[in-house]
Structure 1
């Protein structure tokens, strides 16, 4: 067990191999640029792909506006449900680093497939003038890509901010103070990514091509993945605590067994 003055973190964090983390070589602002770069690129990819998605479905999948809007709403809702899966896996079994890593690969796979559906002959619908004629398999490929992205974001969205917080030891007053600054920079990174996506990428999709419009987010997500992995040796990792469902079940079983136990009169 590390002592309070031996230079190790006191919050239980370890490196990827399970060894105690040295404060001088891990965490804090040494590790955060990689996490912030990851978040900026990921948000740029997400909003760059999703902001103009209704227009893509109307123009290239030949859907009505109401149907396209409903499909995008369903997909967006799924993106906010899947974080329940990612958070559960991270806290219970995988830890945040491995959860983010695995789901990022799924995310990149989904964006790559979506780019292919907008640029490769055979996956790309045939269009005559302003009217496109997608086959069932082409439409299925688009929705498969979208829901791979929804699954991918489910492992990233709930973990990245808390993984950044893990880089600061709460028992250290200086690091504890720095943690609040991290969240300021974290949300700044989100907004920068969203700003670029909603302006530059929407322009590319509208005036250049959808292949480029989806390809740039795919490249940004690949950069996000590289950025994240570059900081691997600097990260502090909290160990997963096991399934909370097991602990809840234990409390319920103990309560059922002891509901007739008499409490001593003398507190």
Structure 2
């Protein structure tokens, strides 16, 4: 059928009447909002010195956050008197909410506020939440003083205390969640990826970023866990508050050293404009690549953003950049006519989503470490010689695994693979994430085996099994190793593949994966209990784990991870890298490496 609207086949060059100046920008651009401190566009100081300030901020903020999160499941059971399954689900939902808020922080950072102001505001919210939590626990919940340990029980909490408690921990979630992806992107901004050596530094930064995160966890999972496990909850929360304040002051001290990138405008509007424009031209045949609409100059119509080369997938979206007769009189109407770069920005989002969805099951694996692993350790023999190991301190083995594997990956594996295969960067991000998914699956198998062995050594009439808590070491070590491959790979992949205008959104996809993983985990626990807890059958995850079968739940998650890996392989093979146009040349962001996982 012939199109109802005739196409304009002209190529739009500098002399074309359909061209617009590159300084004109699309709807959603940040014209009246906050501007970053004045710099010359993408140029400013930057480098490793301000990057190290941001890494220190990350370590201290993480210490503060996990000072609350690592033992939250025990706080809910011991202080608020919740059931094991309810406490595990509440922790999963809270952790999920933390990372959902990362999307809000990324949106504000990319669209209006810029990285610096966004990080500042969310850190203030984070500090307020920690202050309220410290006050609430002291004033309303820890009654009598020192309660909430294995020995001393707390009184029934008041409704006011519980209400303020939940408000405070969700303020903590909002502040930390909004801060994280923006900080990751702000750190990457300290290196200009257009320069080859700085692009390598940018890639290395994400590994150090996750390293700093785990350094912060190391203190919270050892010293703070000990305080909280022995009933000194308020002291633990106050230390977290102090760490957050120091992190914020350190962050402000680097004000004059940072390299700033201005906000690019609302990316949601730009993506919606592409779909609206394509829908309006649904009966128009898409033009060839050479005939699609683009502005002149090195920059795109998205102010400050580099141009993106045309790709041949999602061809129906090219209709948004196809000029028709109706577009002749209104070239500035971006709800009818979009540039190639704007269309490709929307395509990038479409390409990343299937890969991102495949990472959610891995996050189900990861979230068990903060919930069911702790519950499992709490009913094991936690005496090692004369020492008593709180269940939550076992996550130290996860942290040490992350720290060790980060160094081995950066300084051993990458040079080895580069020498053997000829790829300077070693394995690709997609291959790295696939390896992480396999190791995560093995961690669930190890957790299931440990639980099976624990149930075999249950002592009748006692809460704890005679099996040593050290049996949990393999599952924690495997989770730590998988994080280095999966989460660091995600940060590098989504930030590197995201267009200039949505870099924080790219970083937030990693956090959003953790978020949905927590929600899926919570839903999975509810579904498993609904199916298995019938009649006199207590179900797989009852309050008394000694009469349950949590091992079967771990094996179920391992099976889901295996199925997810097969789907991930298909998505990874299908994925195509973003191509950035720099100085008129077509340069692949990944230096033409094969991004296929096989």
1:74 corresponds to = 93
Matched, 1:250 2:273: yes
For 1:18, the equivalent position in structure 2 comes to 38
Q: How high is the TM-score relative to the length of structure 1? A: 0.85
Contact 2:142 2:154 in 1 (8 A): no
Structure 1 residue 165 displacement after superposition: 0.5
Deviations 1:129-152 (A, max 9, x none): 523121100000110001101111
- Determine the structure 1 residue equivalent to 2:307: none
Cα gap change, 1:186 to 1:259, in 2 (>3 Å) = same
Alignment of 1:74-113 (within 5 A): 74-113=93-132
Paired position in structure 2 for 1:126: 143
Higher helix share: 1
Give the distance between the partners of 1:264 and 1:201, measured in 2 at CA: 62
Q: Tell whether 2:199 aligns with 1:159.
A: no
Is 1:227 matched up with 2:227? no
Counterpart residue number, 2:47: 28
Deviation at residue 157 of structure 1 after TM alignment: 1.7
Cα pair distance change 1:62/1:261, threshold 3 Å? closer
Give me the CA root mean square deviation: 2.4
Deviation at 1:21, TM superposition (A): 7.2
Q: Which residue number in structure 2 is paired with residue 183 of structure 1? A: 206
Match of 2:136 among 114, 117, 129: 117
Runs of at least 5 residues in structure 1 that lack an aligned partner in the other structure:
1-14
Contact in 2 for aligned 1:104/1:156 (Cα 8 Å):
yes
Question: In the TM superposition, what is the alpha-carbon distance from 1:204 to its structure 2 partner?
Answer: 1.3
Q: What CA distance in whole angstroms lies between the structure 2 residues aligned with 1:240 and 1:136?
A: 43
Deviation at 1:39, TM superposition (A): 0.3
**Total equivalences in the alignment:** 250
Higher relative contact order (CA 8 A, sep 6+): 1
Distance in 1 between residues matched to 2:49 and 2:160, nearest whole Å:
47
CA distance in 2, matches of 1:146, 1:116: 12
The alpha carbon displacement at 1:223 in A equals: 1.1
Q: Aligned equivalents of 1:109 and 1:135: distance in 2?
A: 22
SS of the residue 1:234 aligns to = coil
Equivalent residue of 2:155, what SS? strand
CA distance in 1 between partners of 2:271 and 2:208 (Å): 36
Superposed CA deviations along residues 169-196 of structure 1, whole A, max 9, x for unmatched, are 1222332232233223222211111111
CA distance in 2, matches of 1:233, 1:125: 43
TM-score (norm 2): 0.40
Distance 2:166 2:117 in 1: 26
Kept in 2, the 8 Å contact 1:116–1:124? The answer is: no
User: Does the Cα contact within 8 Å between 2:71 and 2:225 map onto a contact in 1?
Assistant: yes
Change (3 A) 1:264 1:162: closer
Query: CA shift at 1:258, angstroms?
Result: 2.9
1:2-59 deviation line (CA, Å, top 9, x unaligned): xxxxxxxxxxxxx943221797x72001211210111001111111211111111222
